[in-house]
Amino acid sequence: MRVKKIYLDNAATTPLDPRVLKAMLPFLKEEYGNPSSLHSLGQRSREAIEKSREIIANFIKAKTDEIFFTSGGTESNNFAIKGVAFANEKFGKHIITSKIEHHAVLEPCHWLEKNGFKVSYLDVDKNGLINVNQVEKTITDETILVSIMHANNEIGTIEPIVEIGNLIKKVREERKERNIKTPIYFHTDAVQTFGHLPINVNELNVDLLSASAHKLYGPKGTGLLYIKKGVKIEPLIHGGGHEKGLRSGTENTAGIVGFAKAVEIAKKEMDKEYQRLTKFRDLLIEEIFKKIDGVSLNGDRYLRLPNNINISVKGVEGEAMVLYLDKKGIACSTGSACSSHSLEPSHVLLAIGKSPEEAHSSLRITLGRFTKEKDLKIFIQALTETINYLRKISPLWEK
């Protein structure tokens, strides 16, 4: 019997939309020119890249020369954090971030700490929300960068980016009045929201923003960093001076064209998709609580991504759940230590005050464009069976 595959791990990556693939194909075949070449083959690639840049810039209300293509979210976050740190260290060496950031933000920060910078890792509340007052209190005259994610990849909590952006703006103006030269920049990791929630860089008041194509049905290996005009930043990758000298390396034309196509589709379908997935999400949460005892929701019930469900299931372990569900054709993920490289449970779940046991028993279900309503029913059935079975084996579950 062929098992029907149901993909519910869209926060990890999304499948390539066939429309994106179609847009990319010419640039993987006949349109192979190097965009830096003078001949027409190269120039056609250049045109495609610049058109893509325009589409993406328009999407977030940025200027075209504020979009810098990278290899993905991890590079964009490294670029933003280390690039700003290196360019501004003579003014101050303090950076503020949160305890629930992606490793692609936390690890550059840890590395900077080893290299003479001071980093404050802000606590979050039990739903994963940053307290804006806490950000304000943590800012000193040495602070050059605040980096807070737009929405969390594990628990889906959407952070008050507008409020933090306004705060940073206020601090900047206030520094100007006091004639303090130290700049302060605001970076947001928008990898989970780009193409899913409306983003207007002017309304968010961000100076830097990271995004990745493969989270919105585009290809892997392509990302971007929005860098507002005037932000002082050092490149991490030196070479032939591509991307205005800030990110050298021959452009990934097919990837960039695919990214732009993914953005075009998202722009058209985002509102409807938001409604559809929110409905699915709420339906699933309701059904899970109705059908299964001993389950708790991780993250904020309402201030959360429309596609994210993260639960802890008493008496079972996450990796076991994921593998049993996989056997039934369903792909999702867990914050359990057992499935991680490091054998550490999810730092996000621990930061919102969950016990290691709760983190070990967590399951993340993330819906996507290709999730159908009938998939939800199949999933609930499979999840119920899996949990019932594993609880039968478990010494820590008494019905």
Size of the site for other proteins (CB under 8 A): 26
Which position among 22, 32, 202, 338 is part of the footprint of other proteins (CB under 8 A)? 338
Which position among 3, 338, 393, 396 bears the catalytic label? 338
Is 345 among the residues that bind other proteins (CB under 8 A)? Answer: yes
Is 343 among the residues that bind other proteins (CB under 8 A)? Answer: yes
**Between 152 and 336, CB nearer to other proteins:** 336
Is 336 among the residues that bind other proteins (CB under 8 A)? Answer: yes
Which position among 62, 317, 330, 371 is part of the footprint of other proteins (CB under 8 A)? 317
Mention every residue, 6+ apart, whose C-beta is less than 8 A from residue 99. 121, 122, 123, 124, 347, 348, 351
Nearest approach, Cβ of 360 to other proteins (angstroms)?
4
Is 323 among the residues that bind other proteins (CB under 8 A)? Answer: yes
Nearest approach, Cβ of 123 to other proteins (angstroms)?
23
Is 3 among the residues that bind other proteins (CB under 8 A)? Answer: no
**Between 2 and 341, CB nearer to other proteins:** 341
Is 357 among the residues that bind other proteins (CB under 8 A)? Answer: yes
SS3 labels along the chain? CCCCCEECECCCCCCCCHHHHHHHHHHHCCCCCCCCCCCHHHHHHHHHHHHHHHHHHHHCCCCHHHEEEECCHHHHHHHHHHHHHHHHCCCCCEEEEECCCCHHHHHHHHHHHHCCCEEEEECCCCCCCCCHHHHHHHCCCCEEEEECCCECCCCCEECCHHHHHHHHHHHHHHHHHCCCCCCCEEEEECCCCECCECCCHHHHCCCEEEEEHHHCCCCCCCEEEEECCCCCCCCCCCCCCCHHHCCCCCCCHHHHHHHHHHHHHHHHHHHHHHHHHHHHHHHHHHHHHHHCCCEEECCCCCCECCCEEEEEECCCCHHHHHHHHHHCCEECECCCHHHCCCCCCCHHHHHCCCCHHHHHCEEEEECCCCCCHHHHHHHHHHHHHHHHHHHHHCCCCCC
Is 393 among the residues that bind other proteins (CB under 8 A)? Answer: yes
Positions in 360-389 near other proteins (CB under 8 A): 360
Is 315 among the residues that bind other proteins (CB under 8 A)? Answer: yes
Is 320 among the residues that bind other proteins (CB under 8 A)? Answer: yes
Is 75 among the residues that bind other proteins (CB under 8 A)? Answer: no
Which position among 117, 280, 324, 379 is part of the footprint of other proteins (CB under 8 A)? 324
Which position among 192, 339, 371, 386 is part of the footprint of other proteins (CB under 8 A)? 339
Active-site residue flag, 332? no
Positions in 95-154 near other proteins (CB under 8 A): none
Is 1 among the residues that bind other proteins (CB under 8 A)? Answer: no
Residue pointed to by tokens 């952070």: 159
Nearest to 364 by CA among 18, 8, 5: 8
**Between 193 and 333, CB nearer to other proteins:** 333
Of the candidate spans 81-89, 191-199, 200-208, 312-320, the one that interacts with other proteins by CB under 8 A turns out to be 312-320
**Between 91 and 397, CB nearer to other proteins:** 397
**Between 20 and 359, CB nearer to other proteins:** 359
Nearest approach, Cβ of 214 to other proteins (angstroms)?
18
| Residues acting as catalytic residues | 338
* Interface contacts to other proteins, rule CB under 8 A: 315-320, 323-324, 327, 336-339, 341, 343, 345, 356-357, 359-360, 392-397
